[in-house]
Amino acid sequence: MNYAKFVGWGSYLPSLVVKNRDLVHFVDTTDEWILSRTGIKERRYSHVSTGEMAWLSAEKALASAGMLPSDLDLIILGSTTANDVCPNTASYIKNKLKAGSAAAIDINSACTSWLYGVAMMSDMIKAGSIKTGMVIGSERLSLGLDWNKRESCCLFGDGAGAVVLTRSNEKLGLISSRISCVPDSREFLEIPNWGIQPGIHTNDLHLSMNFDGAAIFKRAVKSMSLDCQAVLNQAGLTIKDIDLFIPHQANIRIINAVGSKLGVDPDKTIVTIDRFGNTSAASIPISLCEALESGIIKGGETILLASFGAGLSCGAAILKWGASTKHVKETHFSIPSYQGEVTELLSDSFSYHGINCS
C-alpha cells in the first residue's frame, strides 16, 4: 500500500510586525479588545506578493527535503489572495522554482485551502498518479482588508508555509482525512467583487469583507469538532492517541472551544495566533513548521489537524509524522526585509478606504 509521507517543510513570515497598539492609529479598536476576544497580540503584513512568499517557503521546503525542483510532479497553491487568477499563481511559483513541467494548480477554499490541498495530494500519491508534490498555503490578506470594518480587519495577517510529500510504503502522512463544507453559510464570510461579476462592467468593484463573526464562530466549533471526530473514527483512534493538535488559527477562543469539546490536553495544542494573527490558508503549515523548528515535534507523533474558512469550508486530518525533524539542506534564497512603516506599506489601501493616519 502507498502512503504520502511528509519529507520537507518551510515557512516565510514577512519582516514587518504590526502590533495591536499600532492598529489603534487607524482602526477604532483597542489592544485589550483584540487580545481578550481573539488572542492576537501582533501580526505580519507583507511587502511582497502571495506568490513570492509562497516561492520562498517552497524553496525552504524543497531544501529541507533534500530534493530537486525536478523531483516535483505537482505544485498546489492554496490561497484566497493569489496574485493572478489567469494564469494561475502556482505556475508562477513552479517557474520560479525551475520545476520544469510539474503540474501547477491553485485551489481556493479560503482558510482550509492548504488542508484541502494536502488531502487531495495525499490521495493522488496513494493512488499512484503522482510520486512527489508540494502543497503551499500563502496569503496576503492585508491588501483585502477594509480598515473601516474593525470586526474583521484586526484579525488577519500575511505569511506562507509549504510541505513536500512523497510516496512511501511506511504508514506515514495522512492516515485519515475529511474535507467538508457547511450548508447555507456562504454569506457569513464573503468578499464581494473578488471575482468576475456583473459589477466589473459597472465599476462596482469596491472590495470589502462582509463578516458575521458570531455566526462563523458557532459553526466553526461545531463543524471542526465533527470533522475531527470523523477522522479519529476513520483511523480507529481516540483523542487519547493524539500527541499534538494543530488547528487553524482564527481565534484562541475557537481553538479552546474545539479542544475542550474533543477533550484535547491544552498542552498538546499548538498556538501561533498570538504572533501571526489569522494567516488563513498559511496558518496550519506555519504552525506545523514552528512545532518542528522549536523541537516540539520529535518524530513519530500522531497529529490532529483541523481547519475552517469561508464557504464555510471545513476539514480535519490525522497526520502521522515520520522520523525526520531536521532539514536535509538549507536554502540560500531569501527576501530582503521591509524597511518602512505600516502606513507607507498600506498607503494605497488606506487612501482607498478613506483612512487618514497623519
Give me the active site residues, please.
111, 248, 278
Smallest distance from ligand UT7 to CB 170, Å: 33
For residues 55 and 112, the answer to whether their CB atoms sit within 8 Å is no
Question: Which of 115/250 has CB closer to ligand UT7?
Answer: 250
Cell 518524530 found at: 299
CB of 64 to ligand UT7, least distance (A): 27
Cα three-residue angle 228-108-253, rounded to 5 degrees: 40
Q: Which is nearer to ligand UT7, 58 or 141 (CB)?
A: 141
Q: Which residues of 268-307 are buried (b: 16+ CB within 10 A; e: fewer)?
A: bbbbbbebbbbbbbbbbbbbbbbbbeeeebeeebebbbbb
Nearer to ligand UT7, 166 or 249 (CB): 249
CB of 267 to ligand UT7, least distance (A): 23
Please, which residue, 33 or 352, has the CB nearer to ligand UT7? 33
Task: State which residue, 190 or 293, has the beta carbon closest to ligand UT7.
Answer: 190
Least distance CB 27 / ligand UT7 (angstroms): 7
The Cα–Cα gap between 29 and 24 comes to: 6
Indicate the helix (H) or strand (E) that contains 165: strand 159-168
Q: Which residues bind ligand UT7 (CB under 6 A)?
A: 29, 33-34, 37-38, 111, 150-151, 154-155, 189, 213-214, 216-217, 250-251, 278, 309
Instruction: Tell me which residue has its CB nearest to ligand UT7.
Output: 213
Query: CA 85, 89, 94: angle at the middle one, nearest 5?
Result: 150
User: CA triplet 283, 207, 338: central angle to 5 degrees?
Assistant: 55
Contact 59, 51 (CB under 8 A): no
Distance of closest approach, residue 129 Cβ to ligand UT7, in angstroms:
31
Mark out the alpha helices in the chain (DSSP H runs). Answer: 20-23, 31-38, 50-65, 89-97, 113-127, 150-153, 213-235, 252-262, 273-276, 283-293, 342-345, 347-352
How far is the first Cα of the chain from the last one, in angstroms, to the nearest whole number? 62
Q: In the complex, what is the shortest distance from the CB of residue 155 to ligand UT7, in angstroms, rounded to a whole number?
A: 6
**Following DSSP, what letter does each residue of 240-270 receive, concatenated?**
GG-SEEEE--S-HHHHHHHHHHHT--GGGB-
Look at residues 23, 43, 32 and name the one whose alpha carbon lies nearest to residue 272. Answer: 43
Q: Given the complex with ligand UT7, which of 194 and 217 has the nearer CB atom?
A: 217
One-letter amino acid at 330 equals: E
In the complex, the smallest distance separating the C-beta of residue 190 from ligand UT7, rounded to whole angstroms, is 11
- What residue type is 317 in one-letter code? A
Nearer to ligand UT7, 34 or 318 (CB): 34
